[in-house]
Structure 1
Amino acid sequence: MSLSREHDAAWRGFLRSSALLLRVLDAELRAEHGMSHRTYDALVQLSETPGRRLHMKDLADALVHSTSGLTRLVDGLERAEYARREVDPANRRATLVVLTPAGLAALENAWPTHVRGVEQYFAAHVSREEARTLAEVFGRIVGNLER
């Protein structure tokens, strides 16, 4: 079995562009806010959940980046006072990661930098029609893989 030339080119373009885009976004967040893109991602995931808290496993599942080093990531969030660990009162063996006011403020401060980068390096090169197509295609892929 082999990929068509078109599928191979699309796949390689996707891999290379996403790696480069994440690298650039990470560099900008580090330079302007002293925050990695992985930290930003964790803060986004926590901010978008009810109560701004997630079990460690759910945070790992929600992250865009690799889940390896999750304990180190959460340790860093705690050192920066962006999040804290709490024992889940419903299951005392489970640990929750809770976004702090300082973490929400850091996210709100970094958000314009992230959006500017996404606009400059992605959206400026993709028409709205192409964006709709990409969203549909990636939505199908994600939906299939999450089943």
Structure 2
Amino acid sequence: MSLSREHDAAWRGFLRSSALLLRVLDTDLRAAHGMSHRTYDALVQLSEAPDQRLHMKALADALVHSTSGLTRLVDGLERDGYARREVDPANRRATLVVLTPEGLAALENAWPTHVRGVERHFAAHVSRDQARVLAEVFAKINTDLDGS
């Protein structure tokens, strides 16, 4: 079994461009805010969660980046004052990660840098029509993979 030339080119292009884009966004965030893209991603997930808190497993599932090293990531969020751990009162064995006001402020400060990078390195190369098609394609892929 093999991929068509078009599918192979699209797949390879997706892999390379996503890796390069994440690398550039990470470099920009580190230079401007001393924050990795992975930290930024965790702050986004926490900011969008109900009551700005997630169980460790839910945070791991929500992260765009690899979930390996999640404990180190949360340790860093705590060290920087961006989040704190709390015992879940409904399940004393579960740990919640809670966004702090400092974490929200850091996210709000870093957001324009992130958006500028996405605009410059992604949106500037993709028309709105192409973006709609990509969004549909990735939604289908995500639905398929999230369901498995």
| TM-score bracket for this pair, using the shorter chain length | over 0.9
What's the C-alpha RMSD, in Å, of the aligned pairs?
0.2
Aligned-residue offset at 1:5:
0.3
Aligned residue number for residue 122 of structure 2: 122
Aligned residue number for residue 81 of structure 1: 81
Aligned residue number for residue 145 of structure 2: 145
Matched, 1:45 2:45: yes
Aligned-residue offset at 1:84:
0.1
Deviations 1:62-111 (A, max 9, x none): 00000000000000000000000000000000000000000000000000
Aligned-residue offset at 1:123:
0.1
Structure 1 stretches of at least 4 aligned residues deviating more than 2 Å after TM superposition: none
Q: Distance in 1 between matches of 2:68 and 2:144?
A: 23
Aligned residue number for residue 102 of structure 1: 102
Aligned residue number for residue 111 of structure 1: 111
Read off the aligned partner of 1:133 and give its amino acid letter: V
Report the number of matched residues.
147
Q: Distance in 2 between matches of 1:144 and 1:50?
A: 25
Q: Distance in 1 between matches of 2:125 and 2:86?
A: 43
Aligned-residue offset at 1:29:
0.1
Q: Distance in 1 between matches of 2:73 and 2:109?
A: 19
Aligned-residue offset at 1:44:
0.1
TM-score (norm 1): 1.00
Q: How does 1:35-74 map to 2 (within 5 A)?
A: 35-74=35-74
